Amino acid sequence: MAEIKDPRGKLLLGEAVRLLVQSGVSGVAITDFINEYSEVVQSSLVEQQAPISDLKAQMKEAVREVLHELAPPSRRAGAEKRKRVPVVVDGLRTSLSLHASLLSKTEDTLGTSKQARLLLNELANSKPADHPNRSAWVEEQLRHHLTLIKAEAAIKTAH
């Protein structure tokens, strides 16, 4: 009798034995069944399994595809630089990680880097407690603020 190591094979053979017992088959017939079909189950399961090296290669390819979908090579290679900006939140020094181009655009729009830092401090301190990422929240609010300034400037020039 071959020992079945695959849990699927054990389940399959166990269910077959359970059905035989429920149908009233004798103990001798059940023993003969187990001896004969253990080898059949074991050999059929071994044939169906993919070699480990193939499985590993398939997993690598699947991970590569997922990574490619999440961050295509063109996006990873040309990722925009981020800049750390010191701020004071609730009396404690910390920093924000912001896109350098957004920071530069903010300084250009507001006129000086001091005004930009004041705005960044104000935005950093106004982050809601339920938002997990202060830098992302400040960037979003900064974009809204710059859009509002641009819209106000357009209205002034229109009048």
On whether both 72 and 135 belong to a single domain, the answer is no
Average pLDDT in the 123-148 region?
A: 92
On whether both 92 and 132 belong to a single domain, the answer is yes
On whether both 141 and 101 belong to a single domain, the answer is yes
On whether both 151 and 88 belong to a single domain, the answer is yes
What pLDDT score was predicted for residue 77?
46
Average pLDDT in the 84-93 region?
A: 94
Q: Is residue 1 part of a domain?
A: no
What pLDDT score was predicted for residue 20?
78
Contact assessment for residue 83 and residue 103, using Cβ atoms and an 8 Å cutoff: yes
On whether both 59 and 113 belong to a single domain, the answer is no
Q: What is the pLDDT of residues 36-83, one digit of tens each?
A: 777 777 777 665 555 556 777 777 787 777 777 766 665 544 457 999
Q: How many domains does the chain have?
A: 3
What pLDDT score was predicted for residue 76?
47
Q: Is residue 142 part of a domain?
A: yes
What pLDDT score was predicted for residue 47?
56
* Residue scoring higher pLDDT (127 or 29): 127
CA 85 to chain centre: 27
* Phi, psi angles (nearest 5°) of residue 90: 55, 40
Q: Is residue 105 part of a domain?
A: yes
Q: Is residue 116 part of a domain?
A: yes
Give the number of other CB atoms < 10 A from CB of residue 106: 22
Band of pLDDT at residue 105, cut at 50, 70 and 90: very high
Q: Which domain holds residue 93?
A: 80-158
On whether both 28 and 56 belong to a single domain, the answer is no
On whether both 87 and 134 belong to a single domain, the answer is yes
Q: Where are the alpha helices (DSSP H) in the chain?
A: 7-23, 27-48, 52-70, 73-77, 100-110, 113-125, 134-158
Q: Is residue 2 part of a domain?
A: no
